[in-house]
């Protein structure tokens, strides 16, 4: 696996709560949070795109209210 080049999200604040993303291959996306950098989520560009579209459309709002 190629070395990961972690990039901080432009939406992350300057504080300690930051989201980092790396794409070691075109088919593989890694996501981690600065508070717990050893926990890394792995997804594909297609799945991440579906998740982002659903979040922007408010389709996941019920999860926060559960």
Kindly write down the DSSP assignment for every residue of 4-48, as one continuous string: P--EE-TTS-SSS--EEEEEEETTEEEEEETTSTT-EEEE-HHHH
Q: Is the pLDDT of residue 64 over 80?
A: no
pTM over 0.85: no
Higher pLDDT, 12 or 55: 55
CB 22 within 8 A of CB 6: yes
At 3-26, the pLDDT tens digits run 578 998 877 766 677 889 999 888
């Amino acid at each position: 696996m190629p070395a990961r080049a972690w990039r901080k999200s432009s939406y992350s604040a300057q504080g300690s709560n930051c989201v980092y993303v790396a794409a070691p291959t075109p088919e593989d996306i890694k996501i981690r949070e600065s508070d717990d950098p050893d926990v890394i989520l792995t997804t594909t560009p297609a799945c991440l795109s579906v998740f982002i579209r659903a979040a922007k459309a408010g389709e996941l709002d019920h999860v926060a209210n559960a």
